[in-house]
C-alpha cells in the first residue's frame, strides 16, 4: 500500500547533498555548521529530516526548531524554541548563564539589558554543557523566518564550535544565507533534480498520471520535487485542464494556486482553524480552539478537533503531540502561505483579533493587534512602544526598532510621531543600520518644525552619513547644527560637536579641518575644561597645540571616569594622536569590563581596534595582531562595514610589516570598499601597500601609493596620520631616482618640519629628521640622522627608530665607515627580528654582511606557527587565566579554548600549561 505522503519516503536524487550533510556527524575536524539553501519545494526540509534521523540513530541528541513568519518580530522566539528542551540545564551552570538567558527570554524589563554577546556566550556555554555527555545536533528549518536576534546568536555559536561535540545545520529559502549566517557556515546549495531523478520520483507517486501527462508534469516541475508530487496529484484521474495553473506564473505561485484549490474544498470551520494556525505561530491547538470559539471567533462553542480531519486527509497538515499539547504542522510553508492567501483581509483581521484575545504573552498579543489595525491607534502605539522597551531589555535592538516604527505608524499626532521615529533612528544607530537611520531621520524632519525635532533629525542624519563614509555631506549638516545648538545653549551641542570631531578624525581632509577650526573658534568656553567630552572636538583639529590641556584631560578622565566608555575612548584617542602611546594603553584596560558587560555592544569593537593601533605603535605586534583579528571578527559579527574595513586595514598593515602575501589582498579590498572620504582608511592602506611594493622590488609603485598620502604640494591628505609616512615617502622617492619625486618628498618633509617646530611630538621629530636625512646632501644628511636618533625616549616606537638606524647604517657603510655602521645595523636587526619584520631583517643582515659582519639567519620562531587566535590564548594562559576566563575574553567556549591549547602545546614543544610563560618570555622563540 502506498504511503500517504510520498515525499516522506527515502529522498530521491540528493546523494551529493546528503553526503555533505552526513559529514556533520563525523566529529573528525570537518565542517560543524552548514546552511542548506534553495528554492521552495526543492527538498531542504527533507534533507534536514534525514540528517536528523541519522543523528538520532547514531545516538546524538537533537534540538529542533522551525521558523515561522508570525514570530519573526518576537525577540529570541526562535532561540527559545531551540533551547526549550534543555533550559533547565542552564541553572546548573555558573558564570551567570541562567540569569542571562532568563533575561533574554523574559517579557519583564531588566535593570541592565543583556548584551548580544553575553546572550551568545550563555547559549554556547549551555550547548557545550548539554553536549558534554552526548554529542549534539542543532537543526533549524525555515531559518529565514527566525527573528534577527536569534539568527545573530545562533550564527555566533555556529562559528565557535571548534573542539565541541556540536554541529549546527539550518535551511533557508533563497540563494543567500539569512542575516548573521553569512560567515562561517558551509553552504549546501540544493538545485533542481536531475531529469532521471525527477522521473524516478514521479514514478513513485500513487496514482501517477498517464504517460501522455507525465512529460508535461516533468517539464513544468522543472526538477522541483514538491512540484513533481503536487502536479502529479493534480494530473491524476480527475484531471481538469482548466484547473491547471497558468504557465506564466512562477513555480511557487503555481504550487500556491494548487494548494488554494485544495483549500477551497474544505469546510469553513476547518479553514478557519487553519487560518488561525497560519497566523498564530508556534502555539498549541487548544489556543487555536479557544481563539476560534471565543467571542467573534466564528466557531460553534461545541467545536471539535474533528474539524481538522479533512485537512489531514488531504495531506495539508499533520497534528503532532508535544509536551505542552498538540500542534498543527503544515505540510510545507507554501501551504501556510496559501491559507493566508486564500483568506480575505476581513477574515485575517478577525483571526488576528481572536488570537489577541486569548494570547497571554504581551508581545504576541500586541503584534496580532498591530496586524489587525486599519487606522492609527494611540493605545496600540503605546503598547508597541512597551513591546520595543521589552525587546531592548532583552538585548534585541532590531526587533525593538521594528516595534518603534510600528508605534510611530500608529501615532496620529505629527510631533509625537516624529519623536518616535527619532527614537527608532537612535536604535538603528545601535544596530549600524545607517540607510534606515537616514530614512527615519528624513521622515521625522518632514513631520514637525519643532526646533528640537529638526535638530535631532539633523544629528541622526549627520551621524548616519559619517558612518557611511560620506564625511563631507555629514559635516555640511553637523557644523551648522553645532553652531545653532551652541547659540541656543542646548544640551545637545556637545553631541553635535563630538560627532563633528568623529567625522573629522575619519576624514582628515584639510578643508574639513579648516571648517572644524572655524567652528570651535566660535564656541563658548567649556563649562569644565578637564572634561574630555566637552573639549575633545575643540582640541582635535589641532591637538599638537594643546599638550597641557591633553595631559589634564587624560589625568582627569583616568581619575574620575574609569568606567565611562565614551570619555575613556575620547581621552584615549587624544593620547594616540599625540603619541602618548604608553598612556593610551594604560587608560583603557584590555579588555575593559564595561566593554564586555551588559548594555550596548557598540564599544567592544571600537576598544579592540583602539588597542590594535596602540600596540602597533608601541612595537607590540603580536598583541596588535591578536587585537586586529578580534576586532575584525567582532565587526563582522555586528555587520559593521566601516568597522570591518578599519580592522582589515590594521590586519593588512601588520601583514605588510611582516612580509606576508595576504597583505595586498586585504589592503586592496579596503581601498575598493567605497570609503573614498575616509582618510583614516586610505592613508593607512596606501602606506602599507607601499611596503608591499618595496618588498616586491618596485619603488615606483611604492612611491605612487605614498604620493596619495600627501597632496601635490606636499600637504598631508590626513592632517593627523599622513605626517607619519613622510620618511616612507622620502625613501621611495630616492629609490625611484626621479628628481620630481624627490622634490615632492622634499615639499612634504618641509610641511612636516613646520609641524614639528610648532609642538610636534618626539616621534614626529624623529620621522621628520629621518626624511630630511634621506633627501639631504652628504654634509647635512649625517646631521639629520643624528638629530633623528638623539632622543633615547624614541625607543618607545622601536620599529620606526630601527628604520632610522638601518638607513643611517647603510649611509655610513656606503661612505666607507663600516665600523660606525655596524652598531646601528646590529641594533636595527635585533628589533626587526624581535618584531618578526622578516623583509626588514633580511635587509639589515645584507647590510651587515656588506659591512663585514656575518650574522646567521635566526632559527624559525616556534611562535610563528601559532595563529593570531592561538597566540592570544597562549598569552592569556601564560598570565594564569583559566580556560573559562580566557573564553569570556575571547568570546569562545571553555572547551574550545581547551581544544586550542591541546594544539598549541605540540607547536611550542611543551607538555604543560606552566611552560607557556617560559616559551613566551624566551627571546629565542
188 membership: H or E segment, kind and range: strand 186-190
pLDDT at residue 109 in the model: 58
Q: For residue 728, what are the β-bridge partners?
A: none
Lowest-confidence region among 3-17, 500-514, 779-793: 3-17
pTM score of the predicted model: 0.84
Identify the CATH class of 6-190: alpha beta
Question: Quick check: 411 pLDDT over 50?
Answer: yes
Q: What is the mean pLDDT of the chain?
A: 88
Question: Quick check: 431 pLDDT over 80?
Answer: no
Torsion of CA 388, 156, 167, 77, to 10 degrees: 0
pLDDT at residue 181 in the model: 94
**Residue found under cell 523574559:** 106
| The C-alpha cell that represents 299 in the structure block | 466557531
Q: Contact, 266 vs 342, CB < 8 A? A: no
Distance CA 812, CA 819 (A): 9
Q: Contact, 164 vs 29, CB < 8 A? A: no
Q: What average pLDDT score do residues 70-80 get?
A: 92
Residue 245, C-beta contacts closer than 8 angstroms, at least 6 positions apart: 253, 254, 255, 257, 258
Confidence at 303, pLDDT banded by 50, 70, 90 = low
* Report for 140-154, 224-238, 242-256, 599-613: range of highest mean pLDDT: 140-154
pLDDT at residue 314 in the model: 86
pLDDT in tens, 711-727: 999 999 999 999 999 99
Question: Comparing C-alpha atoms, which of 895, 889, 881, 883 is closest to residue 130?
Answer: 895
pLDDT at residue 917 in the model: 84
CA atoms within 13 Å, Cβ hemisphere of 102:
11
Question: Quick check: 416 pLDDT over 50?
Answer: yes
Lowest-confidence region among 377-391, 599-613, 671-685: 599-613
pLDDT at residue 7 in the model: 44
Q: What average pLDDT score do residues 95-111 get?
A: 78
pLDDT at residue 820 in the model: 94
Strands 325-330 and 186-190: unpaired
Q: For residue 64, what are the β-bridge partners?
A: 139
Domain ranges in the chain are: 6-190, 195-244, 263-372, 679-710+717-788, 797-858, 863-921
Q: Contact, 307 vs 319, CB < 8 A? A: no
pLDDT at residue 304 in the model: 63
pLDDT at residue 8 in the model: 44
Question: Quick check: 186 pLDDT over 80?
Answer: yes
Question: Quick check: 534 pLDDT over 70?
Answer: yes
Distance CA 13, CA 570 (A): 60
The total of other beta-carbon atoms located within 10 Å of residue 886's CB is: 23
Share of the chain above pLDDT 90, in %: 58
More confident position, 254 or 557: 557
pLDDT in tens, 338-382: 899 889 999 999 999 999 999 989 999 999 999 999 999 999 999
Starting at the edge strand found earlier in the chain, the sheet holding 136-141 runs 61-66, 136-141, 166-173, 33-38, 186-190
Residue 315, C-beta contacts closer than 8 angstroms, at least 6 positions apart: 4, 5, 331
* CA dihedral sign of residues 341, 344, 347, 349: positive
Question: What is the DSSP secondary structure assignment for residue 110, as one 8-state letter?
Answer: P
pLDDT in tens, 620-646: 998 899 889 888 888 888 767 888 999
pLDDT at residue 3 in the model: 37
pLDDT in tens, 240-250: 555 555 555 56
More confident position, 118 or 677: 677
More confident position, 701 or 239: 701
Rg (CA), the chain: 32
Q: Contact, 14 vs 47, CB < 8 A? A: yes
Report long-range pairs for 821-828 (Cβ below 8 Å, ≥24 apart). 821/847, 821/851, 822/848, 822/851, 822/852, 822/853, 825/851, 825/853, 826/853, 826/855, 827/802, 828/802, 828/803
pLDDT in tens, 806-857: 999 999 999 999 999 999 999 999 999 999 999 999 999 999 999 988 776 6
| The C-alpha cell that represents 326 in the structure block | 498538540
Q: What average pLDDT score do residues 724-732 get?
A: 98
| The C-alpha cell that represents 752 in the structure block | 612636516
Question: Quick check: 300 pLDDT over 70?
Answer: no
pLDDT at residue 884 in the model: 87
Question: Quick check: 761 pLDDT over 90?
Answer: yes
Strands 166-173 and 136-141: parallel
pLDDT at residue 744 in the model: 97
Q: Contact, 665 vs 492, CB < 8 A? A: no
pLDDT in tens, 554-602: 999 999 887 787 888 899 999 999 999 999 999 876 655 445 544 444 4
* CATH of 863-921 given 2.60.120.200, 1.10.10.10, 3.40.50.360, 3.30.365.10: 1.10.10.10
Q: Contact, 318 vs 329, CB < 8 A? A: yes
Query: What three-state secondary structure class fits 98?
Result: helix
Query: What three-state secondary structure class fits 791?
Result: coil
Amino acid at each position: 500500500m502506498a504511503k500517504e505522503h510520498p515525499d516522506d519516503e527515502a529522498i530521491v536524487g540528493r546523494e551529493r547533498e546528503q553526503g555533505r550533510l552526513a559529514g556533520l556527524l563525523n566529529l573528525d575536524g570537518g565542517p560543524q555548521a552548514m546552511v542548506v539553501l534553495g528554492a521552495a519545494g526543492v527538498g531542504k526540509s527533507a534533507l534536514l529530516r534525514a540528517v536528523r534521523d541519522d543523528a538520532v540513530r547514531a545516538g546524538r541528541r537533537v534540538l529542533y526548531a522551525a521558523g515561522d513568519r508570525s514570530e519573526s518580530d518576537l525577540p529570541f522566539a526562535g532561540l527559545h524554541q531551540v533551547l526549550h528542551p534543555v533550559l533547565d540545564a542552564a541553572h546548573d551552570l555558573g558564570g551567570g548563564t541562567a540569569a542571562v538567558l532568563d533575561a533574554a527570554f523574559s517579557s519583564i524589563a531588566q535593570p541592565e539589558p543583556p548584551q548580544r554577546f553575553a546572550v551568545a556566550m550563555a547559549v554556547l556555554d549551555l550547548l557545550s554543557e548539554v553536549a558534554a555527555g552526548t554529542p549534539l545536533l542543532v537543526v533549524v528549518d525555515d531559518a529565514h523566518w527566525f527573528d534577527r536576534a536569534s539568527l545573530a546568536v545562533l550564527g555566533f555559536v555556529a562559528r565557535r564550535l571548534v573542539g565541541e561535540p556540536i554541529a549546527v545545520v539550518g535551511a533557508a529559502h533563497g540563494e543567500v544565507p539569512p542575516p548573521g549566517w553569512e560567515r562561517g557556515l558551509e553552504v549546501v546549495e540544493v538545485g533542481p533534480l536531475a531529469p532521471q531523478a525527477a522521473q524516478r520520483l514521479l514514478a513513485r507517486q500513487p496514482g501517477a498520471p498517464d504517460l501522455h501527462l507525465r512529460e508535461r508534469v516533468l517539464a513544468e516541475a522543472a526538477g522541483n520535487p514538491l512540484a513533481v508530487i503536487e502536479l502529479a496529484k493534480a494530473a491524476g484521474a480527475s484531471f481538469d485542464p482548466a484547473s491547471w495553473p497558468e504557465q506564466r506564473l512562477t513555480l511557487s505561485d503555481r504550487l500556491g494556486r494548487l494548494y488554494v484549490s485544495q483549500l477551497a474544498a474544505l469546510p469553513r470551520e476547518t479553514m478557519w482553524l487553519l487560518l488561525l494556525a497560519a497566523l498564530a505561530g508556534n502555539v498549541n491547538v487548544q489556543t487555536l480552539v479557544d481563539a476560534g470559539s471565543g467571542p467573534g471567533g466564528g466557531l460553534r462553542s461545541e467545536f471539535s478537533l474533528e474539524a481538522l480531519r479533512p485537512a489531514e486527509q488531504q495531506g495539508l497538515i499533520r497534528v503532532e503531540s508535544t509536551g505542552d499539547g498538540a500542534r498543527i504542522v503544515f505540510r510545507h510553508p507554501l501551504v501556510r502561505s496559501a491559507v493566508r492567501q486564500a483568506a480575505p483581509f476581513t477574515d485575517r483581521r478577525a483571526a488576528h483579533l481572536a488570537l489577541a484575545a486569548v494570547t497571554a504573552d504581551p508581545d504576541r498579543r500586541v503584534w496580532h493587534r498591530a496586524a489587525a489595525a486599519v487606522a492609527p491607534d494611540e493605545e496600540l502605539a503605546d503598547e508597541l512602544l512597551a513591546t520595543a522597551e521589552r525587546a531592548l531589555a532583552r538585548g534585541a535592538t532590531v526587533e525593538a526598532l521594528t516595534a518603534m516604527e510600528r508605534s510611530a505608524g500608529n501615532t496620529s499626532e505629527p510631533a509625537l510621531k516624529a519623536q518616535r521615529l527619532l527614537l527608532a533612528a537612535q536604535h538603528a544607530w545601535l544596530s549600524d543600520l545607517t540607510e534606515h537611520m537616514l530614512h527615519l531621520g528624513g521622515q521625522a524632519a518632514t513631520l514637525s518644525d519643532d526646533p528640537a525635532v529638526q535638530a535631532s533629525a539633523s544629528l541622526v542624519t549627520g551621524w548616519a552619513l559619517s558612518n557611511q563614509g560620506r564625511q563631507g555631506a555629514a559635516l555640511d549638516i553637523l557644523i551648522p547644527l553645532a553652531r545653532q545648538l551652541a547659540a541656543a545653549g542646548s544640551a545637545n551641542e556637545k553631541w553635535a560637536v563630538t560627532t563633528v570631531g568623529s567625522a573629522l578624525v575619519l576624514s582628515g581632509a584639510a578643508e574639513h579641518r579648516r571648517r572644524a577650526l572655524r567652528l570651535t573658534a566660535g564656541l563658548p568656553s567649556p563649562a569644565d575644561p578637564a572634561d574630555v567630552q566637552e573639549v575633545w572636538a575643540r582640541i582635535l583639529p589641532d591637538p599638537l597645540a594643546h599638550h597641557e590641556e591633553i595631559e589634564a584631560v587624560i589625568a582627569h578622565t583616568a581619575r574620575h571616569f574609569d568606567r565611562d566608555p565614551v570619555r575613556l575612548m575620547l581621552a584615549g584617542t587624544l593620547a594616540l594622536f599625540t603619541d602618548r602611546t604608553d598612556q593610551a594603553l594604560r587608560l583603557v584596560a584590555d579588555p575593559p569590563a564595561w566593554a564586555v558587560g551588559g548594555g550596548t555592544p557598540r564599544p567592544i569593537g571600537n576598544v579592540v581596534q583602539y588597542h590594535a593601533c596602540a600596540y602597533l605603535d608601541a612595537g607590540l605586534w603580536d598583541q596588535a595582531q591578536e587585537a586586529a583579528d578580534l576586532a575584525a571578527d567582532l565587526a563582522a559579527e555586528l555587520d559593521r562595514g566601516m568597522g570591518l574595513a578599519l580592522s582589515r586595514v590594521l590586519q593588512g598593515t601588520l601583514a605588510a610589516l611582516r612580509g606576508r602575501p595576504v597583505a595586498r589582498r586585504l589592503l586592496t579590498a579596503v581601498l575598493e570598499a567605497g570609503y573614498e572620504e575616509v582618510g583614516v582608511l586610505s592613508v593607512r592602506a596606501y602606506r602599507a601597500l607601499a611596503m608591499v611594493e618595496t618588498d616586491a622590488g618596485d619603488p615606483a609603485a611604492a612611491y605612487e601609493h605614498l604620493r596619495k598620502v600627501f597632496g601635490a604640494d606636499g600637504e598631508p591628505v590626513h592632517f593627523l596620520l599622513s605626517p607619519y609616512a613622510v620618511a616612507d615617502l622620502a625613501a621611495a622617492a630616492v629609490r625611484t631616482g626621479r628628481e620630481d619625486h624627490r622634490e615632492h618628498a622634499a615639499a612634504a618633509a618641509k610641511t612636516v618640519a613646520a609641524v614639528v617646530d610648532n609642538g610636534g611630538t618626539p616621534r614626529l621629530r624623529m620621522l621628520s629628521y629621518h626624511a630630511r636625512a634621506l633627501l639631504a646632501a652628504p654634509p647635512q644628511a649625517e646631521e639629520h640622522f643624528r638629530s633623528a636618533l638623539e632622543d633615547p625616549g624614541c625607543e618607545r616606537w622601536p620599529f620606526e627608530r630601527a628604520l632610522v638606524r638601518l638607513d643611517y647604517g647603510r649611509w655610513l657603510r656606503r661612505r666607507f665607515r663600516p665600523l660606525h655602521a655596524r652598531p646601528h645595523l646590529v641594533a636595527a636587526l635585533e628589533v626587526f627580528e624581535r618584531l618578526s619584520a622578516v623583509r626588514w631583517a633580511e635587509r639589515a643582515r645584507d647590510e651587515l654582511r656588506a659591512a663585514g659582519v656575518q650574522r646567521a639567519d635566526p632559527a624559525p620562531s616556534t611562535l610563528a606557527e601559532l595563529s593570531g587566535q592561538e597566540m592570544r590564548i597562549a598569552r592569556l594562559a601564560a598570565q594564569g587565566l583559566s580556560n573559562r576566563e580566557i573564553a569570556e575574553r575571547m568570546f569562545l567556549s571553555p572547551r574550545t579554548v581547551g581544544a586550542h591549547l591541546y594544539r598549541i602545546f605540540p607547536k611550542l614543544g611543551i607538555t604543560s600549561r606552566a611552560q607557556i610563560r617560559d616559551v613566551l618570555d624566551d627571546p629565542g622563540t
